[in-house]
């Protein structure tokens, strides 16, 4: 079962103004093929379906544990999209329609169907699908897939980071680049333990140091790339049998944190304003009222 904590994994800055274009791009990290819904659902189903759990306990613990962290990642992406859509109606300058869906680059569903909310889909408009889940039942194959998935996810985060300059989006992506790096390394380490082949030598994929991204570097400086959180009061204790030794990234000590990240507040967004037909003003209403 799951315990829910009403916090985000990090504190998100509040945007100076609406940015529906960036909201549309950031959707890729939610429901794109390599988005957070994919990592969440791949590890969740793999953990549900894993047979012989007692025989391969550290691997079960690892996959189940990372699934829990991914649940918090979809929450973080959703809150980022919603922050980027905040004030989108009030910020309209008259040059754009009041319901500015992003001049062709945003996602029209954000405003037309969702009342300023995140969709379970990617930037291209396609909805997330269970077809993105891979679960063969073969541990080595599933771990190889997960290493590949985290590598694709890292590519996606890096590209979305470069596709927006929005500080809210970049703060969130900087954190996810670092946390995704931990997952990529954890699956590489698990494969190394299982096979004797040092898969961590492939790191990082893509071959760009996370320190190159200022919003990721600050989380590296705070050691977030070394830590695997246990995300459970009592369980999943054997993740430390995999997540140990020396970081393949910078030679520091890997560490299991029995707690959760310090986290940040869930933004309390302004309600979506009701929308009126154009060219109706208070004076017109008064005139009509007088005639009745």
Binding site for Mn ion (CB under 5 A): 36, 39, 70, 73, 180, 183
CB neighbour class for 4 (10 Å; exposed up to 12, middle 13-18, buried from 19):
exposed
CB neighbour class for 206 (10 Å; exposed up to 12, middle 13-18, buried from 19):
exposed
**Rounded to the nearest whole angstrom, what is the least distance from the CB of residue 191 to Mn ion in the complex?**
15
Burial 176-190 (b: 16+ CB within 10 A, else e): bbbbbbbbbbbbbbb
The answer to whether the beta carbons of residues 253 and 247 sit under 8 Å apart is: yes
Secondary element (H or E) of residue 257? strand 255-257
Task: Using alpha carbons, select from 2, 19, 44 the residue that is nearest to residue 166.
Answer: 19
Closer residue to Mn ion in complex, CB, 18/40:
40
**Rounded to the nearest whole angstrom, what is the least distance from the CB of residue 33 to Mn ion in the complex?**
14
Q: Which tokens in the block code for residue 6?
A: 């009403």
Phi, psi of 208 (to 5 degrees): -120, 125
Distance of CA 28 to the CA centre of its chain: 9
Closer residue to Mn ion in complex, CB, 110/183:
183
Closer residue to Mn ion in complex, CB, 18/143:
143
Closer residue to Mn ion in complex, CB, 23/43:
43
**Rounded to the nearest whole angstrom, what is the least distance from the CB of residue 190 to Mn ion in the complex?**
13
**Rounded to the nearest whole angstrom, what is the least distance from the CB of residue 186 to Mn ion in the complex?**
9
Secondary element (H or E) of residue 85? helix 57-85
Closer residue to Mn ion in complex, CB, 76/83:
76
**Rounded to the nearest whole angstrom, what is the least distance from the CB of residue 1 to Mn ion in the complex?**
21
Closer residue to Mn ion in complex, CB, 100/185:
185
Strand-pair partners of 127: 121
Secondary element (H or E) of residue 256? strand 255-257
**Rounded to the nearest whole angstrom, what is the least distance from the CB of residue 34 to Mn ion in the complex?**
10
How many CA atoms, within 13 angstroms, populate the side-chain half-sphere of residue 114?
A: 17
**Rounded to the nearest whole angstrom, what is the least distance from the CB of residue 74 to Mn ion in the complex?**
8
Closer residue to Mn ion in complex, CB, 134/272:
134
Alpha-carbon distance 224 to 181, whole Å? 10
């Amino acid at each position: 079962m799951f315990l829910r904590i009403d916090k985000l994994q990090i504190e998100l800055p509040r945007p100076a103004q609406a940015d529906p274009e960036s909201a549309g791009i950031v959707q890729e990290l939610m429901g794109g093929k390599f988005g957070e819904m994919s990592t969440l659902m791949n590890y969740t189903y793999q953990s549900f379906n894993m047979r012989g759990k007692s025989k391969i306990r550290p691997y079960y613990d690892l996959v189940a544990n990372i699934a829990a962290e991914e649940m918090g990642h979809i929450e973080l992406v959703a809150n980022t999209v919603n922050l980027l859509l905040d004030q989108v109606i009030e910020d309209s300058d008259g040059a754009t329609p009041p319901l500015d869906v992003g001049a062709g680059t945003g996602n029209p569903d954000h405003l037309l169907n969702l009342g300023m909310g995140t969709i379970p889909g990617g930037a291209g408009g396609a909805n997330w699908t269970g077809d993105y889940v891979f679960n063969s039942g073969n541990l080595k194959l599933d771990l190889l897939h997960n290493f590949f998935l985290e590598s694709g996810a890292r590519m996606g985060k890096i590209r979305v980071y470069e596709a927006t300059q929005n500080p809210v989006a970049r703060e969130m992506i900087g954190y996810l680049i670092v946390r995704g790096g931990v997952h990529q390394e954890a699956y590489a380490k698990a494969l190394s333990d299982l096979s004797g082949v040092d898969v961590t030598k492939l790191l990082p994929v893509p071959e760009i140091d996370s320190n190159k991204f200022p919003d990721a570097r600050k989380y590296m400086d705070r050691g977030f790339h070394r830590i695997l959180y246990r995300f459970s009061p009592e369980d999943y204790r054997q993740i430390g049998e995999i997540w140990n030794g020396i970081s393949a990234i910078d030679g520091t000590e890997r560490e299991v944190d029995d707690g959760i990240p310090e986290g940040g507040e869930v933004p309390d967004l302004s309600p979506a304003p009701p929308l009126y037909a154009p060219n109706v003003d208070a004076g017109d209403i008064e005139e009509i009222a007088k005639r009745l």
